[in-house]
């Protein structure tokens, strides 16, 4: 296992704290000075460090995270666009709409009416006709290291950011690492604040991640795999279709194991419409 130089480890930990702060304060006005305090770095230099390590500016990160949250509200709630804008840190609906259109290629109202979540909610064969397929796949045992998350599943990115910083510091994160999250509760049955999940990276079987990182295993079973293309906000509707249509008509039963997801590209470098996620539903023998 390769341990990164101590100074680089320290910078990664600081950037991880900044990312966690951003996830927790997206609805607020965020200043570079406050983020410098969170990072414990000079306000003259910290943003250059952030940009160099993350590959995007703070403004780009904030825009991406706020619009990701906004797309979830649009796909999964009936909130007015003005209220969504406020909850995502925009001063008004007009500024939110401009930013949303720039990232998603359509306005908020059009996305709500015609986004890929609509095909899943139509039920029946509509997702299949839209190009979504379910594949039966034997998944080998996977060992992961990461962190738990409690709360809205749309906030699991915070756990990913913190886990990546800590794993990179001990040489367990690589450019080709596989990113997975396991979702332990049904958001339709459990209050949002109590939803439990874990986010982490696949690591070697003999890896021993240091605390507070946790180690767990997934796979070693047959799974129904739905490859989802598009914003993460659409996933809730995809789950409803996978369970409510595909599973009940497949003649199979779900195994006594949680569903999990693998993220095949990174939202920092990928347009929302091109994000690829494999949803794994473990099946009983």
| CA gap 64, 270 in Å, rounded | 10
* CATH number reported for the structural domain that contains residue 105 in this entry: 1.10.10.60
pLDDT of residue 10: 80
Same domain membership, residue 261 and residue 202? yes
By DSSP bridging, strand 221-229 and strand 259-263 are unpaired
205 part of a folded domain: yes
Structural Rg of the chain based on CA atoms = 19
Same domain membership, residue 143 and residue 83? no
Same domain membership, residue 54 and residue 146? no
Which residue among 110, 143, 177 closes a domain? Answer: 110
276 part of a folded domain: yes
* CATH number reported for the structural domain that contains residue 146 in this entry: 3.20.80.10
269 part of a folded domain: yes
Same domain membership, residue 106 and residue 187? no
| CA gap 161, 168 in Å, rounded | 11
Same domain membership, residue 161 and residue 255? yes
215 part of a folded domain: yes
1 part of a folded domain: no
120 part of a folded domain: no
pLDDT of residue 54: 87
Coil, strand or helix: which one is 282? Answer: strand
pLDDT of residue 129: 64
Same domain membership, residue 157 and residue 275? yes
Alpha carbon of residue 56 to chain centroid: 18
Same domain membership, residue 203 and residue 93? no
pLDDT of residue 3: 42
pLDDT of residue 174: 84
Domain that holds residue 268: 134-282
Same domain membership, residue 266 and residue 159? yes
Same domain membership, residue 138 and residue 106? no
123 part of a folded domain: no
| CA gap 156, 68 in Å, rounded | 12
Domain count, the chain: 2
Same domain membership, residue 148 and residue 66? no
Same domain membership, residue 148 and residue 48? no
| CA gap 74, 115 in Å, rounded | 10
Per-residue pLDDT of the chain (285 residues; tens, 9 = 90+): 444 555 666 888 888 899 999 999 999 999 999 999 999 988 888 888 889 888 899 999 999 999 999 998 999 899 999 999 999 999 999 999 999 999 999 999 999 998 877 777 766 666 766 678 899 999 999 999 999 999 999 889 999 999 998 898 888 988 889 999 999 999 889 999 999 999 999 999 999 999 999 999 999 999 999 999 999 888 888 898 999 889 999 999 999 999 999 999 999 899 998 999 999 999 999
pLDDT of residue 1: 45
247 part of a folded domain: yes
Tokens of 244: 């409510």
Same domain membership, residue 149 and residue 93? no
């Amino acid at each position: 296992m390769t341990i990164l130089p101590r100074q680089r480890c320290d910078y990664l930990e600081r950037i991880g704290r900044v990312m966690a702060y951003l996830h927790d304060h997206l609805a607020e006005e965020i200043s570079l000075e406050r983020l410098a305090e969170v990072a414990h770095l000079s306000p003259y230099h910290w943003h250059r460090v952030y940009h160099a390590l993350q590959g995007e500016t703070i403004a780009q990160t904030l825009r991406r995270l706020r619009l990701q949250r906004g797309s979830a509200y649009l796909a999964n709630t009936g909130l007015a666009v003005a209220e969504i804008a406020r909850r995502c840190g925009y001063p008004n609906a007009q500024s939110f709409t401009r930013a949303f259109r720039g990232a998603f290629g359509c306005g908020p109202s059009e996305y709500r009416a015609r986004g890929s979540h609509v095909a899943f909610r139509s039920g029946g064969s509509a997702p299949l006709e839209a190009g979504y397929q379910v594949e039966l796949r034997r998944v080998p045992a996977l060992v992961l290291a990461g962190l738990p998350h409690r709360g809205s599943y749309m906030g699991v990115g915070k756990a990913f950011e913190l886990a990546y910083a800590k794993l990179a510091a001990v040489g367990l994160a690589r450019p080709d690492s596989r990113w997975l999250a396991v979702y332990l509760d049904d958001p339709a049955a459990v209050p949002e604040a109590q939803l439990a999940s874990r986010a982490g990276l696949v690591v070697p079987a003999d890896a021993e991640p240091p605390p507070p990182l946790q180690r767990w295993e997934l796979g070693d079973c047959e799974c129904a795999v739905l490859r989802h293309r598009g914003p993460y906000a659409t996933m809730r509707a995809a789950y409803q279709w996978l369970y409510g249509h595909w599973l009940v008509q497949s003649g199979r039963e779900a195994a006594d194991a949680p569903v999990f997801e693998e993220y095949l590209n990174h939202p920092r470098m990928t347009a929302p419409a091109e994000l690829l996620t494999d949803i794994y539903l473990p099946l009983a023998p």
